[in-house]
Structure formats: structure tokens, C-alpha cells
Chain A
Amino acid sequence: MTLTTFFGCAFTAYGPSLAIFLGSIAPNAQLVILMVSSAFFWLISVLLASAIWYIASNSRDTFPVTIIYTVLLQELFRYFLYLLINRAESGLNMVASHPKSRFNRSGYAFAAGLGFGLMFGIISYITQLVNSLGPGVIMCESCKTVSLYFISAITTSILILHHCAWMMISFTGFTNRSWLRVAWVVITHYGASYLTILNSSPTVNYGCAYQIMGNLVLLIASAIIVFADMRHLHQKLS
């Protein structure tokens, strides 16, 4: 269960997002820099959350409470990132390859979302991934026949992509002052996180399956919103 599991889980978890990264972000210097900066922002938000967790030692094991402030901090830093990119947008546009394109902002949102997502994916999953190199295996609590590593890999991959979508939706929301979109992002983020509690729930059978399906549905819904926004942007002036 060592190398096979390792590679399988690694590609499952990071494959889609790395493919996206290598295909569309890596050739573009500006987007890479944006991505690294947004990863940094996410990291700060999670560090703050972990500091709070560390201090609030009583509620360390109650996940619903932990998720509340963690997700809240992430969304807050998403907003800060939006403010930063907004402030720097004229400069960013100047050096972009198409300075006057109206899709530039979506590009930045996408790169930032991927930054958030990849950082999230790496931080959340890497220890489990490395553990899967060892000779042992841990089974998932709610689906006792699947290894924990694999379920986590699938969840990670879905959530990374979801982060991209969230960032794009939220940027559209902040730009157009469409609070519905912002609310969608926050609510679905909470939803996705709470769904993952199902992974280890001893009472719900096949909880991991429900979690995966639920997250997939949310991801598809967010993706639909993103595509609708992009199409709207495309049609607006053409």
C-alpha cells in the first residue's frame, strides 16, 4: 500500500489543479506571482485560525465550532485579497498581455483562487499523503472499506477546484456589489466544510459517499454560476 497508494492519492488530489496550473497559469508570470501571493494570504488566514484554535483549548475537538471561525477567517482574507487586487489592478493591467481586456479581472480571480486552493490542498492533505507511503493503512470511519487517504484525496481535489470557483464568484460579487454571490460563496464554503464532518461520522453509513456527492453538487452549482458570469461578461459589450 505504499508507493501505489501514494501516487494514486497524489494524482487524485492534486492532478486536476496542477493540470490547470501548468496549462494556464504557469506560462504567465503575472498570474504565478498573484498565485503565490494569494497562497500567502490563505496561509495567514489559516494561521490566525489555528492561533484561535490553540487559545480556545476547550473546544479543540468540536469541529462545528472550529469550522465557524476558520471559514469566517478565510472569507475575510478573501475579501482582503480582493481589496488588494482592486488597488493594484491598474498596475496589473498595465503589464498584462492584453491591457484592455475585460477578462483580466477574471484571470486574476482565477489565479488567486487557484492559489488559495493549492495552498489549502497542500496544507490539508500533505501529511496524510506522506503517511500513505508507510506500510500501514487507515480506514475511513464512515466507509470502512475505503482507505482514509483516498477519500481525503477526492475531497481535496474537489475542494481545490471549488476554491477557484469561489474566488471567481466572490470577485464578481464584490465588483458588481452582488451580495447574493458573496452570500453564496460563504454559505457553500460552510456547507462544504460541514459536509466533510460526515467523513468520519460513526453513525452515518457511507457518510463519505454522501460527502463526496454533496461536495460535487456544490462544485457543479458554483461552476455553473461562474460560467454564467463569464458568459454575461462576454456578451455584455459584444
Chain B
Amino acid sequence: MPSRAGADSRASARGQLNTPVGAAATTTGGEDNGQNDGDGEDQPCQACGVFPARFQCSACQSVRYCSQECQASDWKIHYRECAEIVAAQKEDQTELQQGAGRPRSATNGAGETGVPGDRYSTDLEMTSRAAASPLRTGAAGEVLGDEGENIRATANRPRRRPREPVRRPRLTPEQRAAYEEAERIADMKFYMLQIYKIIKPVVICICLSILWVKISMAGSDYRPTQSSYTVYRESPNSTASQNFLGSLANAGIIIGQIVIVTIIIVILFKRGHIKVLIGFFMVVVAMLLGFMGYVLILNLIQVLRIPLDYLTMAFALWNFSVTGLISVFWKGPMWVQQMYLTVMSSLMAFSLTGLAEWTTWMLLALLVVWDLIAVLCPFGPLKILVESSRNQNQEVPALLYTVNAVWFMASPPDNILNRETLRSKESSDSEDVTLTNGSSSPGANFHGGHSRATGRDGGASISSSRNSGLDTSFSAHDGMSRTSSTMALVPNRNGDSPTGDRDTIELRERARSGDSGSSPRNLNHGEGSPLSGRASRSASGGQRQSRDPRRDSREVDDEEEHRETSDDDDDDDGGGLKLGLGDFVFYSVLVARAAMFDWVTTMCCMVAVLTGMNATIFLLAIYQKALPALPISICFGMLFYFATRFALVPFLAVLAQSQVFI
């Protein structure tokens, strides 16, 4: 085995060179956990079983791969045995250097006993070892500096019995399968908890919207009304076809506005005018909280007959809005952010209830189509947004509701660490919240491995992040960050260019998602609430306030804000689903519209929307890529609304009259 020869050569060359370890480690670290050309032994690829496997893991040189993709996908399983193998190799060298006579305890390679606790240190050594030990490269010079380091490092490890045949601990197929299984379980647990964590804010937002609608329907003068942008006014006298076409025109106008705004945002984002976007969103949020909050308060005051003077109201409203702006765009406790985002979504939905009935349903139907196109088609704006966000390693400002990481839920067993931000590729993307699973499958698996390694870390915290903003969040995870960064240095195969840059980008994103609390998955809501919000705002411009074009940006702001704040948030770690605020808004619009009819329709639509959301997240778990969050829920919701309204409600009315329970 080459390593033995290498050990000899190293032993002989020892003391002749002083190569700084750090330099060796860092310079070669980037590639060394990658692949080196194998010597063409006829072994199958470890991951896919194909012959010939021309690459091998450069750290341990004991497994072969056929391509970098396979190496990346196998890393999450191989990293354990890699550590053990390298440790065993080190022990071999140590034994050779120090003589076989030293009594050693009979342990099976340091790697095994050390795995749980030593994984991190092992990983680090791996890097330096990897840097040191690519025997094929024959660069003995760079090896030497590490030797002392390795010896020191291995000095503390339990020794193997002398004369014991050198064993390379390798994962048996059963172990490998077990690790894969464990990985899958951790995956599913993660998703389950994410569903649970995202159901709560969605339910709260929906309930708030129902509350506002019910209150304003009780006879207030300040109800949101349809804007004059709409070309068609529904009236009870029009025929069905007139209603249909007219509402189609209305909804088309609104969707057109949404599309235009989305494209503008995408262009701005791609060009890098982040500050413009942020400023824009800030204004939008301010307007939303300020004006829409004002309208809501007027409604409440009138219906509930609250005695309140203008001064107090202005003071309270000012405080409310400014706190919202601060907590969403700057720093604030996570729960305050989430609360504000939820409230803003419900305010947005409340304003959208001003649309007439046919228009609302038509709008929702068109949104489903738009969402599907925008997220899944290659030329869809949201997809482009997601990708450019990934490329620039810059999250789209706000627009996302982030669920906290679940790492605090349970101490993970040694080999299964809770996942956090898996697949973080799209983590930054927010706006439309695409259910992103980060990369394509090889990358996905790779990420899985990472998250496992990083464990509680909430996604890889990279020690070397380009984004200074992230550094503050690393403080909490310093111990882990080194490891994760090491692990993360394995080339990330995401099907695109596997360059070092890409790796760091991936890492950075993961880190960002880690500490920004953003997690890879963003449920796409189809247009980013901003857009829709925007359009609808103009559409329902019949508010008392002057229709301010900036109000549109308010919606966009909602989503952005969240992301912004989460960036600075140290406490709540990333990981977890990200759901765009637009999803919140349109779920609430649907249920609020159902609430305008009857309580039974309200409840049915709520259950339908929640089940749709579960199904979408389930699909996300299967497909591991960005998915639109609106279609399934809205389709269920609309179906149930119409079925309930025309069949169930009369049915129940008859039953309830006679108190017959089915």
C-alpha cells in the first residue's frame, strides 16, 4: 500500500524540511479532500459501483470513485471511515517510527473510539494529513511539516497492540447501509419538525386575517374596497359570463402588475442593487404597517366601539410601525420578527379582501399558474432570482419567514446529528420562497453530510466567510465552524462548476443560512408577496389613504425584512424551512374570502390549505428542490370552498336544524 512506502520516505526525510503546517494545510486543504488520480487499480466506484474507478479519496486513498459527483455524494458516508482509515494510517506510521515494542492498548484505531468526540479534531487533522499525505503527488516537502503535528496528535490516541496486523477500518456494507438509514431518519425528522414549526405561524396569520375580516364585515365604514384600477365592477345583476370575463380582466391586470414587479425585483437583484431593494422594501413595510394598520385600527374602533383619541392612536401606531421596521430590517428577537411578519401578512391579506369575489378567485387561480411557471420553468423569474441569489451569495432581502433551527430539540446520537440547513443553496433566496433544496441530488447528499458533520452548528459556519456580516454569528459556533469548514471543503458537486469558489460560495451560503436562520427551503409563494401585494395594493387602491406606489414595495419589504434581520440574529440558528410571505398572504386571502361566507367554509378551507402545505413540504422532502408553495394549497382550498359552499353548508343547515349529528 502506498502509504507504507510514503511513511518510510517521510520517516527518512524527516527533519530535513520545515514546511509550515498551516500553509500546507490551507493551500492544499482545498483540494485534498477531493480527488486525486488513482493508480488505476481495478476497483469499482464506491458510490455507484462502476468500473473503472479512476479517482480516489486523497485523504485516505482507500476508496475509489469514478467521478467527482460520486465522491461528493458518498462523502457523507465515507467521512466516518475516512477519518478512521487515516487515523489507522497515522498509527501505522507512528508505530513504524516509534518502534513496535511499545505496549499499546488494544483498540481498534483511534478513529472509532474517537469518532464521536474526536470527529472534529480528526477532521482537522485530516485536512493537514490530507495535505501531507498525498503520496502520489510525491511532494515529500510539504509532508514533513505535518509529521510532527500528526505525531503529536496521535500521541494521545489509544494505541493498537503491537504485532496486530494493520487493519484499515472500513465500513462494511451493513454499516454503510446503517449510516444511510440514519441519514434518512434524521432527514425525515427534520422535515417533520419543520412542518410543525411552519404550521403555527401560518395558522396564526390565517386566524388574524379571519379576525380582521369578520370585524370589518360587521358593518364598518373603513372596509377595504376595490381599487379603481380594476376595469370591471361586479354587481349582482350581471350574468355569469359577464362576471367571469370581467373578473378575468381584473385579475389579469393584477397579475400583470405582479409579474412586472417581480421582474423588476429580479433585475435589480441580479444587477446587485441590493440597497435599492432594501430601501424600497423598507418604505413598503413602513407604509404597510402604518397605513394598513391605521385602517385596521379604524375598523376596530368603529366596530368594537373603543373610545380612543387620535393622539394615543398615533403614538401607538408610530411605535408599532417603527418597532416593526427595526425588528425586521435590523436586529431584534426572532420571535418579534416572526410576529411582525405574520401580522404584516395578515394586514396585506386584509387589504386584499377588498377585491370582489369573482376577482379574488380568478386572481388565486392565475396565481397558481404563475407560481408554477415562475418557480419551475427554467426562465421563470423566481428561479432566476433563486439562482442569482445563490451565485451572488446574497440573500434576497427579506421576503421570507424563517423557521428556527431544530438543533436544540434533541441531542443527536453520535452518528446522526440533526440537520439544519441542509441544501442551503437557496437559503438566501427569499422573496419567493422557493422550496429550495439547494443543489441537485449529488450536492444534496453532500449537504446532508455536511449538516451531519456540523450538527448543531446549523449549517456549516465557515470560518472564512466573505461576508463580514456573518462573522458575528460565528462566535457562538467557533468550535464547530472549523470543522464544518473543513468538511465543507470537499468539493461540492452541484452539477455546476465545481470550483473552489463555488465551494466557498456554497459554504458561505450555508453559513449564512446557518446564522441567518434561513434555511434552504423556501416555499415559493409564487410571486413574492411583494409583487402580489403590490399589485393588489394598487388594485385595491380604494383605501382611504392615497394610493402610494411605494406601498407596493411594502409588501416586498415584508419578505425582505425577515431575511435581513435574521442575518444578524445570533440566537436563532438557521436551518429550517423558509416560507415566503406571499404564501402567507395568499393562504390568508383564500381563507378570509371563505370567512366572508360562512364559518364552515372557513374551517374547511383552513384544513385544506394546511393539508396542501403538508403535501408541499412532503414533496419538498422527496424532490429536494425549490417548489412553489401555492398551487397545491390553493387548489385544495378553492375546491373545498366551492364544494362546501354549494353542498355542505345547506346539508349541515338541514341537519343542524333538527339537531341530527352524523
Q: Which residues of A contact B (CB under 8 A)?
A: 29-30, 32-33, 36-37, 39-40, 43, 46-47, 49-51, 53-54, 60-61, 63, 66-67, 70-71, 74, 91, 94-95, 119-120, 122-124, 126-128, 130, 140-141, 148, 151-152, 155-156, 159, 192-193, 196-197, 199-200, 208
Ordered by A's residue number, 15 sampled pairs between the chains whose C-beta atoms are within 8 Å are A29-B192, A29-B193, A36-B607, A36-B610, A39-B611, A47-B643, A47-B648, A50-B651, A60-B654, A66-B655, A74-B662, A95-B185, A95-B192, A124-B661, A126-B603
Residues of B near A50 (CB, < 8 A) are 643, 647-648, 650-652
The chain A residue sitting closest to B195, CB to CB, is: A33
A200-B603 in contact given A40-B608, A43-B640, A54-B646 (Cβ < 8 Å):
no
The chain B residue sitting closest to A140, CB to CB, is: B659
- Contact present for B647 and A32 (CB under 8 Å): no
- Contact present for A63 and B185 (CB under 8 Å): no
- Contact present for A53 and B658 (CB under 8 Å): no
- Contact present for B662 and A46 (CB under 8 Å): yes
Docked Cα-Cα span, A232 to B266, in Å, equals 62
Task: List the count of A-B residue pairs having beta carbons below 8 Å apart.
Answer: 125
Say which residue of B184, B604, B656, B658 sits within 8 Å of A127 (CB atoms).
B656
CB of B189 closer than 8 Å to a CB of A:
yes
Docked Cα-Cα span, A155 to B658, in Å, equals 13
Say which residue of A32, A67, A91, A208 sits within 8 Å of B188 (CB atoms).
A91
A199-B658 in contact given A43-B607, A94-B188, A126-B603 (Cβ < 8 Å):
yes
A196-B603 in contact given A33-B195, A46-B648, A61-B654 (Cβ < 8 Å):
no
Say which residue of A33, A70, A128, A152 sits within 8 Å of B192 (CB atoms).
A33
Contact with A along B612-654 (1 / 0, CB 8 A): 0010000000000000000000000000100110111011111
Chain B stretch 73-117: residues in CB contact (< 8 A) with chain A? none
Say which residue of A60, A122, A196 sits within 8 Å of B659 (CB atoms).
A196
Chain B stretch 178-198: residues in CB contact (< 8 A) with chain A? 184-185, 188-189, 192-193, 195-196
Docked Cα-Cα span, A193 to B662, in Å, equals 5
The chain A residue sitting closest to B653, CB to CB, is: A127
Docked Cα-Cα span, A60 to B188, in Å, equals 46
The chain A residue sitting closest to B214, CB to CB, is: A130
Say which residue of A74, A95, A155, A196 sits within 8 Å of B189 (CB atoms).
A95
Nearest-neighbour CB distance to chain A for B203, whole angstroms, equals 10
- Contact present for B643 and A141 (CB under 8 Å): no
- Contact present for A130 and B599 (CB under 8 Å): yes
CB of B221 closer than 8 Å to a CB of A:
no
Residues of B near A61 (CB, < 8 A) are 654
Docked Cα-Cα span, A155 to B614, in Å, equals 31
Docked Cα-Cα span, A130 to B600, in Å, equals 11
- Contact present for B610 and A196 (CB under 8 Å): no
In the A-B complex, list the 7 residue pairs whose CB atoms are closest, starting with the nearest: A29-B196, A199-B659, A200-B658, A50-B651, A50-B647, A40-B611, A196-B661
Say which residue of B192, B195, B611, B658 sits within 8 Å of A63 (CB atoms).
B658
The chain A residue sitting closest to B181, CB to CB, is: A94
Say which residue of A53, A200, A208 sits within 8 Å of B647 (CB atoms).
A53
A124-B646 in contact given A29-B192, A32-B199 (Cβ < 8 Å):
no
- Contact present for B604 and A123 (CB under 8 Å): yes
Nearest-neighbour CB distance to chain B for A28, whole angstroms, equals 9
Residues of B near A70 (CB, < 8 A) are 662
CB of B149 closer than 8 Å to a CB of A:
no
- Contact present for B654 and A124 (CB under 8 Å): no
- Contact present for B607 and A119 (CB under 8 Å): yes
Nearest-neighbour CB distance to chain B for A30, whole angstroms, equals 6
Docked Cα-Cα span, A193 to B658, in Å, equals 12
CB of B8 closer than 8 Å to a CB of A:
no
Residues of A near B610 (CB, < 8 A) are 36
CB of B306 closer than 8 Å to a CB of A:
no
Say which residue of A119, A127, A193 sits within 8 Å of B661 (CB atoms).
A193
Nearest-neighbour CB distance to chain B for A14, whole angstroms, equals 12
A37-B647 in contact given A49-B662, A95-B189, A196-B661 (Cβ < 8 Å):
no
- Contact present for A123 and B608 (CB under 8 Å): no
- Contact present for B614 and A37 (CB under 8 Å): yes
Nearest-neighbour CB distance to chain A for B373, whole angstroms, equals 27
The chain A residue sitting closest to B197, CB to CB, is: A29
Given contacts A29-B192, A126-B603, 19 further A-B contacts (CB under 8 A): A29-B193, A39-B611, A46-B648, A47-B640, A50-B651, A54-B647, A63-B658, A95-B185, A95-B189, A124-B662, A126-B600, A127-B598, A130-B599, A140-B659, A141-B659, A148-B659, A152-B656, A152-B661, A199-B659
Residues of A near B189 (CB, < 8 A) are 95
Docked Cα-Cα span, A141 to B654, in Å, equals 15
Say which residue of B600, B655, B659 sits within 8 Å of A151 (CB atoms).
B659
Nearest-neighbour CB distance to chain A for B444, whole angstroms, equals 19
Nearest-neighbour CB distance to chain B for A46, whole angstroms, equals 7
Docked Cα-Cα span, A127 to B614, in Å, equals 27
CB of B240 closer than 8 Å to a CB of A:
no
A43-B655 in contact given A94-B185, A196-B660 (Cβ < 8 Å):
no
- Contact present for B655 and A124 (CB under 8 Å): yes
- Contact present for A36 and B659 (CB under 8 Å): no
- Contact present for B607 and A39 (CB under 8 Å): yes
Docked Cα-Cα span, A127 to B207, in Å, equals 17
Residues of A near B604 (CB, < 8 A) are 43, 123
- Contact present for A67 and B658 (CB under 8 Å): no
The chain B residue sitting closest to A159, CB to CB, is: B661
Docked Cα-Cα span, A192 to B640, in Å, equals 27
- Contact present for A197 and B660 (CB under 8 Å): yes
Residues of A near B193 (CB, < 8 A) are 29
- Contact present for B651 and A54 (CB under 8 Å): yes
Nearest-neighbour CB distance to chain B for A51, whole angstroms, equals 5
The chain A residue sitting closest to B598, CB to CB, is: A127
Docked Cα-Cα span, A236 to B651, in Å, equals 46
Residues of A near B603 (CB, < 8 A) are 119, 122-123, 126
Nearest-neighbour CB distance to chain B for A205, whole angstroms, equals 16
Nearest-neighbour CB distance to chain A for B194, whole angstroms, equals 9
Nearest-neighbour CB distance to chain B for A134, whole angstroms, equals 12
- Contact present for B614 and A193 (CB under 8 Å): no
Residues of A near B192 (CB, < 8 A) are 29-30, 33, 95
Docked Cα-Cα span, A61 to B644, in Å, equals 19
Docked Cα-Cα span, A30 to B660, in Å, equals 33
Residues of A near B614 (CB, < 8 A) are 33, 36-37
- Contact present for B611 and A155 (CB under 8 Å): no
Docked Cα-Cα span, A128 to B658, in Å, equals 11
Docked Cα-Cα span, A122 to B199, in Å, equals 19
Residues of B near A155 (CB, < 8 A) are 659, 661
Nearest-neighbour CB distance to chain A for B147, whole angstroms, equals 45
Contact with A along B315-358 (1 / 0, CB 8 A): 00000000000000000000000000000000000000000000
The chain A residue sitting closest to B196, CB to CB, is: A29
The chain A residue sitting closest to B611, CB to CB, is: A40
Residues of B near A66 (CB, < 8 A) are 655, 660, 662
Residues of B near A74 (CB, < 8 A) are 662
Residues of A near B647 (CB, < 8 A) are 47, 50-51, 53-54
Among A54, A140, A192: residue with most chain B CB under 10 A: A54
